Amino acid sequence: MRASVSVVGPFAADMTVYFYAILFTRYPQVRDLFPANMDVQRDRLLRGLLRIVDLVDDPDNLVRFCTRLGQDHRKFGALHAHYPAVGECLLAALARYAGQAWSPELAAAWSHGYGVVAQVMMHAAEEDARRRPAVWLAEVIHHVRHGHGIAEITVRPDAPYPYAAGQYVSMETPWKPRAWRYYSPAHAPRPDNTLTFHVRALSRGQVSRALVYNARPGDVVRLGPTQGDMTLDPHSDRSLVCVAGGTGMAPIRALVEQAARNGIRRDVDVFVGARTAAELYGLDDMLRMSQRHHWLSVRAAVSHERIAGLEGTLPQVLGEFGPWYQHEAFLSGPVDMVTQAVTTLARQGIPQDRIHFDPFDVPALEAALLPRRMRGQAAE
């Protein structure tokens, strides 16, 4: 299977186009499961295939990955009958672009491999359906525009919506059907079941721009189940260091709020970063929280403006404090910021398993897998 992927690698973009073309031709009923613009979806298919092939000799992590995929596909409306159709067209696409390298033995290997993946995904979907809905309808009840293209949006789901502080939510809007995006509630769970998101309108973000500029109270969005492992361990007494850039402040604020509810007995250091002082989103709110809680310290960093005491990138300012080697770390924000902050904290001695951050794009494809020392435990 790995050898065949290397063969079709140079034609990957064409192969995914061909796959969806024959899938929609042979089984037109599945077209409505996908967004109108397929560019992003084609990339996700390829990444999913590569991850599966990478895990073919790692059964614990293969099951973990496919379980997440199966649970996540419920919100798309995937049914058991769709899996054979996808498998048939996938093998046809691989055979076409593998050329002479395709053989009966390779076809059998892929057929068996896909069958295992499909069975795990379908079983995961069945188990997930027993404990929660596939989607929740949520009405927008509050919408406030802030500066720099950011909106604070509060929704009320139509049924209890369980989640933990620090997790994120997949959301579909009426303006871009079947285009799901991920946002983190900016608070710990509330008794009234409402959720507040801080959304920044990205320059090419069709969903985010619609939420910021088009959404109004009374509009209804759809929410998928929460995901994410960036949550507090209630049994840990380690101090925390939290790093937030832009609207990455949302899950960090939720974690701090949850820590306060838990009656925390440890220090929490929060670093907030932005390009300019005006873009230090959420800093005032976090400073007010620090006035109420003696264990909370808040510091800011500005990378593109000369301000005494604040100048520097967030990872640079983070490195000036510490030491952090005994802390638990939580990071959220732009990819480059998180990546650099991870390096800074690792250099200061925090083990990788105590540095937490969420996937950058599609959680079901990027979620962390089990380290080798835990793989035997996962199978028990």
Indicate if 109 and 41 belong to the same structural domain.
Answer: yes
Indicate if 13 and 110 belong to the same structural domain.
Answer: yes
What's the confidence (pLDDT) of residue 379?
35
pLDDT digit string, tens, across residues 285-308? 999 999 999 999 998 888 766 665
Range of the domain at 297: 240-366
Using the predicted structure, report yes or no on whether residue 173 has a pLDDT greater than 60. yes
Mean pLDDT (whole number) for 126-136: 95
- Residue 160's CATH number: 2.40.30.10
Indicate if 103 and 205 belong to the same structural domain.
Answer: no
Confidence band, pLDDT 50/70/90 cuts, at residue 22: very high
pLDDT digit string, tens, across residues 76-87? 999 999 999 999
Indicate if 149 and 183 belong to the same structural domain.
Answer: yes
Boundary (domain end) residue, out of 105, 129, 153: 129
Which of 131-140, 346-355, 361-370 is least confident?
A: 361-370
What's the confidence (pLDDT) of residue 269?
95
Indicate if 190 and 251 belong to the same structural domain.
Answer: no
- Residue 356's CATH number: 3.40.50.80
Q: What share of the chain is helix, strand, coil (3-state, %, to 5)?
A: 50, 20, 35
Residue 362 and residue 365: Cα distance in Å, rounded? 6
Measured N-to-C along each axis, helices 82-98 and 12-26 cross at an angle, to the nearest 10 degrees, of 140
The answer to whether position 332 is within a domain reads yes
Indicate if 208 and 268 belong to the same structural domain.
Answer: no
Q: Average per-residue pLDDT in the chain? A: 88
264, two tokens: 């925390």
Q: Which residue has the higher pLDDT, 367 or 161?
A: 161
pLDDT digit string, tens, across residues 243-299? 998 888 999 999 999 999 988 778 999 999 887 777 777 888 999 999 999 999 998
Indicate if 186 and 275 belong to the same structural domain.
Answer: no
The answer to whether position 233 is within a domain reads no
Mean pLDDT (whole number) for 358-376: 57
pLDDT digit string, tens, across residues 177-189? 988 999 999 999 9
What's the confidence (pLDDT) of residue 377?
39
- Which class for 368: exposed (0-12), middle (13-18), buried (19 or more C-beta within 10 A)? middle
Boundary (domain end) residue, out of 84, 104, 129: 129
In this structure, the strands spanning 195-200 and 296-302 are: unpaired
The answer to whether position 379 is within a domain reads no
The answer to whether position 316 is within a domain reads yes
**Residues whose CB falls within 8 Å of the CB of residue 70, separated by 6 or more in sequence, listed in order:** 120, 121, 122, 123, 124, 125, 128
Mean pLDDT (whole number) for 103-125: 94
- Which class for 162: exposed (0-12), middle (13-18), buried (19 or more C-beta within 10 A)? exposed
Confidence band, pLDDT 50/70/90 cuts, at residue 133: very high
Indicate if 216 and 268 belong to the same structural domain.
Answer: no
The answer to whether position 373 is within a domain reads no
Contact 248, 334 (CB under 8 A): yes
Residue in the structure block whose two tokens are 């073919």: 56
Indicate if 109 and 29 belong to the same structural domain.
Answer: yes
Residue 217 and residue 283: Cα distance in Å, rounded? 26
Q: Which residue has the higher pLDDT, 40 or 22?
A: 22
Indicate if 88 and 142 belong to the same structural domain.
Answer: no
DSSP letter at 291 equals: H
| Count: domains in the chain | 3
